[in-house]
Chain A
Amino acid sequence: MAGRLLLVCRVLVRDLRRRPTETVLLLIAITAATGTLTLGLALNEIATQPYQQTRTATAGPDVVAAPRATGPDALAALAPLTTAAGVTAHSGPYPVAFLVLTAHGKTAHAVVEGRDNAPAPLDRPAVTDGTWVRPGGVVLERAFADALGVHTGDTVSVDGRALRVLGTAVTAARTTYPYAGWTSPDSALTERGGLVWVDRGDIAALAGEQPLSYTLNLKLADPEASTAFVDTATTSPRRTVHGGELTTWQDIAEADGRPVAQAQAVLLVGSWLLTVLAIAGVTGVVAVRVSGQRRRVGLLKAVGAGPAMVAVVHLAEYLVIGLAAAGTGLAAGLLAAPTLIQPSAGLLGSVNTQPPALYMVVAATTLALTIAVAATLAPVVRAAATSTVHALADAATPPRRRRWRIWLSRRLPAALLIGIRINARRPRRARLVTMNTLITTTVLVAMLMNHAQDKPFDLGYSELVDPRAERTDQAMLVLTVVLCVLALLNAAVNTWTAVLDARRPLAVARTLGATPAQAGVGLAVAQLLPAVPGVAAGIPAGLGLYTVASRGGIQYPPDSWLLATALGVLLAITALTAIPAMAIAQRPVADTLRSTPT
């Protein structure tokens, strides 16, 4: 057994070293898919970790009570909660007013909370810039301040009263901008808005006519039992608060994660698209590689290796590449996550995704191995099952003859003729080209769709940056970049193998009088023809994908954009093919005929 293992390892290592380019290509293709998946999964961590850190740093409450009642009614409703079973500490109740803030000409809903200058036992917002509240000043929640473009020392007005910005802070007791829970006093509707803090003494003057609401922070003996506590408090016969008036810390954490949820969806859907693309790419490389290894299959069988051993020797290589790619994908995804997708400014702390969670490792590894196996199993099994004699003779699958295509091509100009015949030789490769362009176009069109959306983001009176859209855009950008790199790589590999394979027929065509230009253009046509249906199908696929993935009214990008995308993809393929094709076409015919065995 040790001997066989040694043999498998030896062949594996030598093979990987002998073909470094292919190994790197395989690694990149699989890494792109696993990396994107990891990035998508890491967003979970990005959503939850900063909240946890903020909660620890600010002594975040376990349950926040905010009755809809106002004034003394609210205080009366909150009072029993401070002594309810399971409550170990509380802070507040703090007065809250739902007002309007204007800064730099922009107006937005502001949840104004009155606080004391002294630190509270629960919910001590962490000041990230400037100082904490003093009479006559205001502290803005950091994400809100960022969205408004407000800095310490600026002056903002709250319901017409000018207040100096003392600083910015973050809290775990309320969801960050834009989900601070702005509730219009005369409607049941909760709207988007940001949180600001003022001195408790100032709030009455700011609120003016508006009755004050109150909020109470509670600490429980068992923070995990928060949901049970809420259930008891809102369903007992002597309840003073009602459903929806108590919020657990888990609810806040979930709401804080909402801005990245859509981005996560984009990346997860994207990682599936990338998986398909990676399989297409890996299949292309593996097909070339395995056909190059046919002779070795025959040889191993002749010296007495059974089909299983042959399959193991060949699969092992791709499994190792798959595992390596899982590792690099994980590392790349985790390293890129914090820089590519910033956590909300409304939370503290950095994202620390090392070491990765077990489920991420499992997911990335599974994906990588799936890609490796999906792309390699068929050719490897086919190779292992080939008759030894055939394999030894190293007869590559002879190019297939498609009668109608050859018939058709006889009636076309020379370049087109050459192109169609090259495709007729290798239909499977043509299919890979179609797949590649289909997926690339799909994602590019979905990206265009995302750009075309011009949704007003209502913040009461003005439109500010939508943090959710911002993160979706970031995710889209990451996805598009990774995808384009992979698609280009796939196209390059595919083109190159096509060029190598077509060298001889092209050389023969040239001995029959085709010019180098005709041969080069013919090859470009060969790549372009299968790309056209891919692009054509990719446009509706991209539109459909975006429509399915997003809710609500959709705006379509102008037709000219779609057309430009389609032409761009085709142009890129033409350029990619033309370069190696011209290089080959310039070589003397005799060299080519000599260097390629029949």
Chain B
Amino acid sequence: MQDVVLAMLAKEPAHGYELRSRMRDALGPLGDAMNAGQIYVTLTRLAKAGMVTSQRSEGLPDRPDRRVYALTPAGQERVSSWLAEVSWPKPDLTEFHLKLVAAATARLADPVALVDAQRREVLRRLRDAQRAALDRSVDPVAGLLLEGVVLRLRADLEWLEACERMWTGRNRKAGA
């Protein structure tokens, strides 16, 4: 979040509300869930860390916030290194996998039932994301994000199906 806000200030100094609406546009339907105060919390933290400076401006009278934020050289540097960074958030499958193994060995729960519940949940998320993408008013760039979300969830579903096959087979063997 911090990196994103810094990168958005790289072009020119901006008001907090401008940053917020730009972000909402880029996120499309997913932006609706974003907390309004979040941007200001982030800006305050960045200012403390010396990445941004702010100046009071001759803002509009109906706007409570009249601060314009700008990058400091340190902020500039961090933006450059962020852009060059190639780390990729990895989906955390390990925990769920271990949950299944643990449930099976300790006979805490039926792993197949766990998989099934998880599958429904992922399917529900997939449905919601895809529904959001169906809306014809979605901006194509924001739609791209939705597509990414859908693709991820489809991959998750496929993995869950593989889990289900495996654990169903195990159950059958154990039962026999």
Whether the complex brings A and B within 8 Å at their CB atoms is answered no
Chain B contacts to A: CB under 8 angstroms = none
